[in-house]
Structure 1
Amino acid sequence: MKCVFPAVGLAFAVFSVHAADRDLQLPDQLQQGQLVVGHAPKGAKIEFAGRRVLIGDDGVFVFGLGRDAPAEEKLHIRYSNGKANDVVLKIAKREYETEHVNGLPPHTVTPNPELMKRIERERARVAETRHRNDAREDFEQGFFDPVENARVSGLWGRQRIDNGKPMAPHFGLDFAVPNGTPIRATAPGVVTLAEMGMVLNGGIVVLDHGHGVSTTTIHMSRIDVKAGQKVKQGDIVGLAGATGRATGPHVHWAANWFDVPIDPALLPKSSDFAKAP
């Protein structure tokens, strides 16, 4: 797939290295929680946060900035001629509100030791899906919301207080929808996990979009796909529900770059990418 950078919405700065074929392209504005889409010159190698970054044949690469990423990070690039350079990335800080959620099933907030062991096993299974580093570039089609015209009822990154107990930040974007609302694949991908009955997640579907990018929907009442299945953008993967740790029917949509949670609201949109000439 040819990488064509967004015509609108994501402006790019070029870090010039003498010759045009050695230009590194990155967005000119970065913030915490962002999936960064860049373009590398031919033959370059890139490392970020201690990880070798996969670069497509078209030069596209991605990396994720965490919720609390520092004000500066370094992107290490080695060019085909052997020369290397550290690009200093300036990352804008975000402010996150605290959100109180009451009425959750008590066993999902304060599980007993035996249930906690099950929760840890389920977390490990979900984490395993985020180790993939496929060369597919499905993320280049851009993303849209998993449900149409829905009210956003929960923002990404907020500190959560569940049933009065401080919890981890909310790493998802919530959409308030009726039970049984169809959930769409937000971009093309491969199903890496599709399972009902998890303690916290309830019904869960994880889609891998290549280069370590994945998206997840949870609290589903029904799942219509299976692990290993390829899906197109817009395919129905299941129905919304209130399974797992939830107070009512909604869609919790999460995104990751490997194990780094990404704000789904900052994913590149389908409309951001210009069509190849």
Structure 2
Amino acid sequence: MTVPVIDQLRELVVQAGGDPQMARELELDRAVALNVLDSIGFTAFIAAIEERFAIRVSDRSSVKLRSLKDFAQYIDAQLGRTAADTAVSLIDQLRELVVQAGGDPQLARDLELDRAVALNALDSIGFTAFIAAIEDRFAIRVSDRSSVKLRSLKDFAQYVDAQLGRTNGSGVPATAGSADVVASGFTVDGERLHYEIEGHGPPLLLLNGIGLDLSAWAPLVQALCGERQLVLLDFRGSGLSGPPPEPCST
């Protein structure tokens, strides 16, 4: 249970017609109905919770929910369930994008999570369109080198989930699992090179050409960063770094 949730609930009590002073002073285990709200206000309170937290309070549950503490626990549980549902729906969205890219709807529905999307559901042109559709739907970038390694719906779901974690506003890669990660970049010949620093101890430089955005890095990074400070650098053309240099014409 988080304090902000309680604060929001007190705010919604007032929004539903409750006295602000009574809402502020209501103890966590005291019933909201009768102590602050009448039956009409309590109904409005339930509706306000559903709108604020984007959840549904079933009629049977609403009878058992009385105190601010009850509601806070219920909301936490519902939000956790919503997060799990979102993870499942990611696969559904990927199947939808397979169809959008030219795949047969039945093939998309029946495609097993560990079977390759290319050949089993899409030809090479459709697979390219599938990558583009993923970038458009989830507002992420699938690097050329990463796209070669992504084959199944499960691969893509893990990749998208990691990228969404990376772009959640923290600037921290989802695979890092540490609050001590610093992600940044610098420019060479007009192109940005991405790097990340994690851990403490003697520095160790890790140069790579497959992109830090792949989940395969997580076990290695976690094993090494306990005793060292890792400097992880994406080569040009990999991960979040800029494109590779043009080949020499002479």
TM-score normalised by length of structure 2: 0.25
Larger RCO: 1 or 2 (CA < 8 Å, sep 6+): 1
Which structure carries more helix by proportion? 2
In our comparison, the structure showing a higher alpha carbon Rg is 2
